[in-house]
């Protein structure tokens, strides 16, 4: 089955690889159009260069790449905006992601296996098309780190909340009670019942800070769009950005659709949704 998927991806066009899940409200007839493409990607520090390991991300990454290449071939793509980095992606672009530099990618950009190379898709498009396509990073490193920290804190506090809610024998739960109390700067003699409301408040504040970091980054993506002249653009972005980004693109007067590729995983979206539901409960 894996070899069959590989063959299909190597010969497929964009048809059916992306699914439209929502759209901006109708913009002016001649308004520039933006594809917001949700992606599931590896952490940038995961090195894929030189490795033959198969990653579950490959399916969605290949689907996005093939779809945007087809847009380029049809002359329906002028600008690509990337998350995760800052500045223009060109021959002078210095950052290395997943072990790949822009120089490394350019050396293999015309090979048949290039679509399966797990590196940031905007970098791959720049490597393949060069001056024929404007490719920019629209992100901010400080905000990226802020969001990662808040998401990590959310997971940590959720772990404490879950442990303190369990019906374990008191002695099994006590180490978690004492650890949570120390982090909250509460008495080590605090009970789970005393700590749970305080942990819930921590969860609420971390979620608010996380959502703010997403919204602030989305402002930068829209600013990047506004700083360029185009008819058709694509933003390749993590799915957590999509809903808020759609609202901001719409407010800026652009047309847009939100697209989800084959193989996309909704794990982080589901996690944040579960946090929101749990924290809104009385």
The residues, any chain, with a CB within 8 Å of residue 1's CB and separated by 6 or more, are none
Domain-located, residue 233: yes
Domain match, 241 and 171 both: no
Rounded CA-CA distance 101/94 in Å is 7
pTM, to two decimals: 0.86
- Look over the chain and give the mean of its residue pLDDT values, rounded to a whole number: 89
State whether residue 120 is helix, strand or coil.
Answer: coil
pLDDT at 12: 40
pLDDT at 172: 83
Residue whose structure tokens are 């579950």: 56
The residues, any chain, with a CB within 8 Å of residue 142's CB and separated by 6 or more, are none
Domain-located, residue 101: yes
**Following DSSP, what letter does each residue of 17-81 receive, concatenated?**
TEEEEEEPPP--TT--EEEEEEE----TTS--TT-----TTHHHHHHHHHHHHHHHHTT---EEE
Domain-located, residue 130: yes
Rounded CA-CA distance 113/209 in Å is 41
* Token reading at 239: 């799915």
**What percent of the chain clears pLDDT 90, i.e. is strictly above it?**
72
pLDDT digits (tens, 9 = 90+) for 60-107: 999 999 999 999 999 999 999 999 999 999 999 999 999 999 999 999
Structural domain boundaries enclosing 167: 144-207
Rounded CA-CA distance 127/104 in Å is 9
Domain-located, residue 132: yes
Which residue, of 153, 187, 207, is where some domain finishes? 207
Give the CA distances from residue 273 to residues 144, 183, 202, 215, 253, in Å, rounded to whole numbers and listed in that order.
20, 25, 17, 16, 28
Domain match, 126 and 217 both: yes
Domain-located, residue 51: yes
Cβ atoms within 10 Å of 205's Cβ, excluding its own: 14
Domain match, 185 and 116 both: no
Contact 40/263 with Cβ under 8 angstroms? yes
Domain match, 226 and 95 both: yes
pLDDT at 91: 94
pLDDT at 1: 38
Rounded CA-CA distance 32/254 in Å is 5
Number of domains in the chain: 2
pLDDT digits (tens, 9 = 90+) for 204-259: 999 999 999 999 999 999 999 999 999 999 999 999 999 999 999 999 999 999 99
pLDDT reading at 260 higher than 70: yes
3-state class percentages of the chain: helix first, strand second, coil last, to nearest 5: 55, 15, 30
Domain-located, residue 18: yes
* Token reading at 131: 């001056």
pLDDT at 40: 92
Domain match, 99 and 220 both: yes
């Amino acid at each position: 089955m894996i070899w069959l998927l590989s063959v299909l991806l190597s010969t497929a066009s964009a048809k059916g690889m992306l699914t439209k899940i929502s759209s901006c409200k109708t913009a002016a007839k001649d308004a520039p159009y933006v594809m917001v493409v949700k992606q599931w990607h590896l952490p940038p520090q995961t090195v894929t260069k030189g490795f033959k390991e198969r990653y579950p991300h490959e399916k969605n990454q290949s689907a996005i790449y093939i779809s945007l290449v087809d847009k380029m071939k049809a002359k329906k793509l002028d600008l690509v905006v990337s998350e995760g980095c800052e500045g223009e992606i060109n021959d002078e672009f210095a950052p290395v992601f997943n072990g790949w530099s822009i120089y490394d990618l350019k050396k293999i950009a015309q090979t048949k296996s290039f679509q399966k190379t797990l590196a940031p898709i905007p970098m791959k498009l720049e490597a393949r098309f060069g001056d024929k396509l404007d490719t920019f990073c629209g992100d901010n490193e400080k905000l990226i780190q802020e969001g990662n920290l808040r998401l990590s804190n959310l997971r940590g506090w959720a772990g404490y909340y879950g442990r303190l809610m369990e019906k374990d024998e008191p002695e099994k739960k006590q180490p978690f009670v004492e650890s949570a109390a120390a982090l909250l700067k509460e008495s080590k003699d605090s009970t789970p019942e005393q700590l749970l409301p305080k942990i819930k408040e921590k969860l609420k504040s971390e979620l608010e800070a996380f959502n703010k970091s997403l919204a602030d980054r989305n402002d930068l993506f829209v600013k990047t769009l506004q700083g360029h002249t185009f008819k058709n653009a694509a933003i390749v972005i993590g799915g957590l950005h999509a809903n808020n980004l759609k609202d901001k693109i719409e407010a800026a007067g652009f047309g847009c659709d939100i697209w989800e590729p084959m193989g996309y995983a909704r794990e982080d979206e589901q996690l944040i949704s579960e946090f929101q539901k749990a924290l809104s409960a009385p």
